[in-house]
Amino acid sequence: MVTRRTFMGQATAAAAVMALPTARALGANDRIRVALVGCGDRGQEDMRNALKQPNIEIVAAADVYTRRLEQMTAKYPGIKTYDDPLKLLENKDVDAVINATPLHLHAKYFLATLAAGKDLYSEKTMCYNIADATACRDAAKASKQVVQIGMQHESEGELRDVQSWVKGGKLGKLTMVEAWMSRNTPRGKGQWVRPIPEDCNPAHVRWDLFLANRPKAEFDPMKFINWRLFWEFSGGNITENMVHQIAWIASALDLDVPAAAYCAGGVFSEKDGRQVPDTIAVTLEYPNDLTVLWQSTFSNARYGLGEHYLGSNGTIEHVSGSTGMITGSRSGNTTYMPEKINNAEGTVIQSSTPGVDHMANWFEAIRSRSHNVHATVDVGYKSSVAAYMSNLAYRRKARVTFEEAKAADPNALWMDMPGHHAHG
């Protein structure tokens, strides 16, 4: 069981990271030896993207499920495999680690990777709750390691253009941002629900390491394979998708954490036993008179995903197809359109700045030791906080302020679910 003392202990451990060893020095042309922790579909996609970059070598992989390690060795013969990620981090041949474990494990392996003196690419959402996010942010800043958060849209050229337009005053007085993300699946098939392989059993899964900081329980293959559906391990659609867009909005507008959050919705699309909602409407209050709205459904994909930045002098529309958050590709565009009532001479502008590959950005920062990554730990922290506040507001069915969310029990999202009895 996780208690407040556990999280305070993480923060204390994080503060000691700066005294730990760092990875070997790398020149501009040196090979970077990479390992993967968490070899599910997303982790394997991350590794494929990493290996598209020049002079990158995979040397190791860790996962608590034997099936995934077998998939990795079949694809990358000769790599070392581990059923315990902490054992992998002892391997001195590893320069950098991709952390693609389930959300509730992000902080554990984030902090352990830094403590091992290895550079880190950590999947979004950076952390499950505010206590973890604070510990990881502080540890990264105290460390010499290069940390990139897996928010690939932070490397888009459109973001650079929008930042320029905003700083140039093209929006005027901005009071509202509308954002959305919509998907659809065949009726009767819920989003994210994956089949359970025959070998998904205690003989092939280190269930104890998967549970980690959660209460001991009998092996549950549904929770192991489909952890995204359960509050104990996941923040649902808010941490899978909204977090990308909130990070983008915060980066575009130079926002800090929200002052307060509201959230409504429920499990409406498919009654398939999931706990996290599939239909969501979030309202975030930011200082300086700004409201950010985000809505999502898993029952219609017509409008894909995007944002409207609604200013007195103009509008910015940033849109993409419904699969953009998965692939990192964009099928839409980003456009500035003047509000003629306050900006009669304004003209329509299309974003034209090319983007940069997110993995390439991380590797370049590793080689230069510049720490000039696009998805910084500050972005990871702010978006983690916004996501946690939104989910806490949903669970409490009430408006939640930042101070209230920060003071909440780190287990608040799941501890009052049936069958759970949290203490501490």
Predicted local confidence at residue 16, as pLDDT: 45
| Residue-range domain boundaries for the chain | 4-153+359-377
Predicted local confidence at residue 422, as pLDDT: 42
Decide: 295 and 283 in contact? Cβ < 8 Å. Answer: no
73-82, 99-108, 321-330, 407-416: range with lowest mean pLDDT: 321-330
- Rounded to an integer, the average pLDDT of 48-66 is 98
63-77, 156-170, 379-393, 409-423: range with lowest mean pLDDT: 409-423
In this predicted structure, the answer to whether residue 22 has a pLDDT above a threshold of 80 is no
Secondary structure letter of residue 18 according to DSSP: G
Q: Which residue has the higher pLDDT, 262 or 323?
A: 262
pTM, rounded to two decimals: 0.91
Q: How far is residue 192 from each of residues 189, 224, 245, 333, 397, measured CA to CA in Å?
A: 9, 13, 19, 27, 25
**pLDDT class for 416, splitting at 50, 70, 90?**
confident
In this predicted structure, the answer to whether residue 41 has a pLDDT above a threshold of 60 is yes
Predicted local confidence at residue 24, as pLDDT: 57
In this predicted structure, the answer to whether residue 59 has a pLDDT above a threshold of 70 is yes
Name 341's Cβ contacts closer than 8 Å, sequence gap at least 6: none
In this predicted structure, the answer to whether residue 12 has a pLDDT above a threshold of 90 is no
Percent of the chain with pLDDT over 70: 88
Predicted local confidence at residue 418, as pLDDT: 59
Task: Dump pLDDT digits (tens) for 195-234.
Answer: 999 999 999 999 999 999 999 999 999 999 999 999 999 9
C-alpha to C-alpha distance for 148 and 171, rounded to whole angstroms: 30
**pLDDT class for 325, splitting at 50, 70, 90?**
very low
CATH superfamily of 4-153+359-377: NAD(P)-binding Rossmann-like Domain (3.40.50.720)
Predicted local confidence at residue 371, as pLDDT: 87
**pLDDT class for 15, splitting at 50, 70, 90?**
very low
Predicted local confidence at residue 420, as pLDDT: 56
Task: Dump pLDDT digits (tens) for 227-260.
Answer: 999 999 999 999 999 999 999 999 999 999 999 9
C-alpha to C-alpha distance for 32 and 27, rounded to whole angstroms: 10
The tokens describing 181, both together, are 């993300």
Own/partner long-range contacts of 208-215 (Cβ < 8 Å, ≥24 apart): 209/64, 209/83, 209/84, 209/85, 210/64, 210/102, 210/105, 212/104, 212/105, 212/108, 213/2, 213/6, 213/104, 213/108, 214/1, 214/2, 214/104, 215/1, 215/420
Q: Which helix (H) or strand (E) holds 137?
A: helix 130-142
> What length is written for the chain?
424
Task: Dump pLDDT digits (tens) for 117-146.
Answer: 999 999 999 999 999 999 999 999 999 999
Predicted local confidence at residue 327, as pLDDT: 46
Predicted local confidence at residue 255, as pLDDT: 98
- Rounded to an integer, the average pLDDT of 284-306 is 95
In this predicted structure, the answer to whether residue 27 has a pLDDT above a threshold of 90 is no
The tokens describing 78, both together, are 């000769």
**Looking only at Cα atoms, what is the longest distance across the chain?**
70
